[in-house]
Amino acid sequence: MRWPLFLLLLAPSAFAQADPFASLDTDKNGKLSLTEVPENLRPHFPLVDTNGDKSVDRAEFQAALIAANSLPKAPAGGAAFSHFKNIDYVGGKNPRQALDLIVPKDAATKKRPLVVFIHGGGWLAGRKEDGLPVARLLASSGDYVAATINYRLTQEAQWPAQIHDCKAAIRFLRANAAEYGIDPDHIGIMGMSAGGQLVSVLGTGNDEPLLEGTLGKFAKISSRVQCVVNFFGPTDFLSFFGPDTTFEKLMKGEMIPKLLGTKKEEVMENARQASAVTWISKDDAPFLTAHGTEDTLVPLAQAEEIHAKLKKAAVESHLIVMQGAGHGFANDDLNRRIKTFLDKELRGIPGEISDAPIKVN
């Protein structure tokens, strides 16, 4: 399905705005109708309208934007790989608890580190296929096995279902490492937006029972990861709207309430649990966080906060500020730094990762 083309082809004037969704939402009702979309893009509209309600809300737009700004497809001439689709990592035949795995063809003779991609979409949209461009690129290098996973969305279950699913997926992949040529001691994770929140909690939550869950056949297998790449994910819901974030502020909007619940005590406890900063300790995995200065959905302060708290706990952390970027970006310099980070943490290849800001045109 080529629905990201909808956003790749949007008029440049729309993306010159800090908030391209708002620039298209001319009637300011929080949804894009077919008539608000440029005429040449209207044939793609049904592919972005994932819930079929004849409109595109901010979450659906965000999911498409993130996919459109993912790393490019694998280059010609890369390593040959096999694509295993719709692997059930829990065993309940729920399509939202399935993953795709991209494995170099010689997996039987060589173990490789694994990188797992977790999609965004405001916890209420998005799918594992959004991560296939990243997974193909990594596997085609011949250096990695790559996976991209589904998790239950908030239409089906609220927090902590999402992190329970992600941890179950990591446990499944580690338990089945030999079958897929995975080095179980070297697993990295990468996520964007809501996926960034989930990978951040995976990176700090470690063996916390509240986050672990008991899904699947491998509850005794570790879900720890060895490095985290967080693209503009929320990391502290209790400061998301500033240091005085309240229950009332968390209840504004659509995405966060659907994730955290409705009753005050439940919401505030879930907000604490779903915040990666809650669980930081000195044995956490190294982090690389990239975040845009013009992000109007997730404040840059979220990235700055987790970076500062990781550093205070003596955890390796890199924060790359994308100057002029909103909620979604693509940049070759950033991709090179990410590759250096993954190679260093998962393959033991020395490398310097610059934390210098990157200006996005």
Q: What confidence score (pLDDT) does residue 64 get?
A: 65
Q: For residue 187, what are the β-bridge partners?
A: 114
Residue 105 banded pLDDT, cuts 50, 70, 90: confident
C-alpha–C-alpha distance, residues 174 and 279, integer Å: 22
C-alpha–C-alpha distance, residues 137 and 229, integer Å: 16
Q: Per-residue pLDDT tens for 215-250?
A: 999 999 999 999 999 999 999 999 999 988 999 999
| Cis? peptide before 160, omega within 30° of 0 | yes
pTM of the model: 0.82
State the DSSP H helix or E strand holding residue 272, giving kind and residue range, or none if neither.
helix 264-273
**What is the arithmetic mean of pLDDT over 298-325?**
97
Residue 264 in this model has a pLDDT that exceeds 60: yes
DSSP 278: G
**What is the arithmetic mean of pLDDT over 182-203?**
97
DSSP 154: T
Domains in the chain: ranges and CATH: 5-68 (1.10.238.10), 81-359 (3.40.50.1820)
Considering only 68-82, 114-128, 161-175, which range has the smallest mean pLDDT?
Answer: 68-82
Residue 1 banded pLDDT, cuts 50, 70, 90: very low
C-alpha–C-alpha distance, residues 131 and 149, integer Å: 8
Residue 36 banded pLDDT, cuts 50, 70, 90: confident
Considering only 18-27, 51-60, 311-320, which range has the smallest mean pLDDT?
Answer: 18-27
C-alpha–C-alpha distance, residues 74 and 303, integer Å: 29
